[in-house]
Each structure stands twice: as structure tokens, then as C-alpha cells.
Amino acid sequence: MPVSIDVKDHIAQVVLNRPEAMNALDPESVSQLHAAWDRISQDDDIRVAILTGAGERAFCTGADLKKTPPPVETFAELHYGAAGQGPGLANLKTHKPVIAAINGYALGGGLELALQCDIRVASTQAVFGLPEVCIGSIPGAGGTQRLIRSVGASDALLMLLTGARIAAAEALRIGLVSRVFEPADLQLAAHEIATQISANAPLAVAAVKRLALMGRELTLTAGLELEQQAFGILRNSEDRLEGRNAFAEKRKPVFRGK
């Protein structure tokens, strides 16, 4: 399978499994990515996910042009009609946190895929780029919109307009990734972050993710109002009461997502 998913201790490990093709995405890969995201969203045993690439060379190098023929439909059919309702790369959604463990090249659609993850950590050998302008195209799976929301406008436009690649150290400097690790340490580090998240109250984690992502599109006043509503909704949840009781009793809380 071009995409595999394994669940253990509330953590889903999703692997792009085409190392012979630098983990490039063909239509089957994209379809299986959507299936993995659906499972992450719907499976109560999963609290956090890690996305990475198989092998040591690449996280993902974007679309596999050898296996992705140009569409036969018109743009109108693809954009507004039934032909456009199939799985695409630009809108992978889940209310649970997703960590990208970027172990090599993250280029084109591969970087756009990483940008859809909530936390990005990288190997010192990782390389990032959106080279579409170099071949007369544009990033078409959210790159022009998500990159500029993830890093400063000048750094985002420098990458977008030149198509140049940047190394892991530069990605860390501009805030494209949160941490950089030696290649041998990357997966363990990603799992340590996932373990920290999975130990927290699932409803609170989901609420924080939703508030943070929605809030950046709102005024501060509207965001604060939304935050207060979420606080009220969670106030009497079983997990919040368990958290307070566990603190008072000096023990580790046992959260159930209720």
C-alpha cells in the first residue's frame, strides 16, 4: 500500500510508503491519505497522528507526474461539478493534532502536505521548496495560502517567487518547522511529542486546535468570545473534573474523552 497507518498507544503512525519514487503522490496515495485522515477523525482510540515518509531520502516530493495524467474534464467540471468531488490534496481535515516528521525532501505538494499538519519537526537533512514557478505553474494544493500563514510574508514570498530550496536550519529560523533533529533521532522525537499530546484530555486538545486555527481568521474580540464559549462547554466535562481531582490527589489523570 502506498500509505500505511498503524495505531498504538493512542498514536497513529501514517507513512507515505513509496520510497522508490521519493514518496511522490499518485492518485491511489491521495485516496489512501484521505482514508487515513477519516480514520484518525473517527477512531476514538486515536488521539494524535504522525505523518512521515518511508526511507531516508524523502518525506514527499509532490505529485508523481508519471502516474498522474492530466484531467479530461474541463476546469468548470473539476471546480464546481461532480468531477471535482473526488479526493484532492488541498483539504485534509481532522480535529485531532497531526505532527509531520519531515525526514528528507519536502518539495511541491510534499511541502503543501506538511503545511496541513499542525506541528512540523524535521531532520537536519530535510530540504524544503515550492518550485512550481520554475516550471510555469503555481502551488495548487494550498501552498500560496498556508505558507504565508505559517511564516513571515517576506520569507514566504521569497520561497514562492524564486522556487528556491531551503535547508532545515533555515526552515527552523523562519518558523516553518518547530524543531530540528539528527536523522536517527527524528522519529523518536516526533513520538515523544505525540505521547505528550496523547496524555492530555482529548476534548480539550481538540478544542484548543479548533480555537487556535479559527482564531487567526477572527478579530481578537471575536476570538476571545469563542474561547470563553469553549471554556464553558468544557467546564463540566468528565475529563476536566478528572484532571482537577488527579491534581488534588497527586496522581496521573486518566482521560476518557468525555
Q: Does residue 36 fall inside a structural domain?
A: yes
CATH number at residue 36: 3.90.226.10
- Model pLDDT, residue 83: 53
Q: Tell me which of 28, 56, 77, 112 is the catalytic residue.
A: 112
Same domain, 213 and 146: no
> Is 158 inside any structural domain?
yes
Burial letters 25-37, b for 16+ CB under 10 A, else e: bbeebbebbbebb
Q: Helix 220-235 crosses helix 202-215 at what angle (to 10 degrees)?
A: 170
Q: Do 33 and 139 belong to one domain?
A: yes
Binned average pLDDT, 10 residues per bin, the chain of 258 residues = 94 95 91 93 96 94 74 68 63 93 96 96 97 92 94 96 97 97 96 96 95 93 94 90 86 88
Whether residues 98 and 184 share a domain: the answer is: yes
- pLDDT, residue 84, reads 55
Q: Is residue 13 part of a domain?
A: yes
- Confidence (pTM): 0.90
Is 255 inside a domain boundary? no
CB atoms closer than 10 angstroms to residue 206: 18
Q: Which listed residue (73, 132, 217, 242) is catalytic?
A: 132
Q: How many domains does the chain have?
A: 2
DSSP calls for 56-119: SSEEE-SB-TTS-PPPSS-HHHHHHSGGGGS--SS----SS-EEEEE-SEEETHHHHHHHTSSE
Q: In the annotation, is 20 catalytic?
A: no
Query: pLDDT value at position 146?
Result: 95
Range of the domain at 72: 3-198
225 is catalytic: no
Domain check: are 39 and 52 in the same one? yes
The amino acid occupying position 217 is E
Closest CA to 34 of 82, 83, 97, 88: 88
CA dist 185 and 193 (Å) reads 12
Q: Are residue 127 and residue 88 in the same domain, yes or no?
A: yes
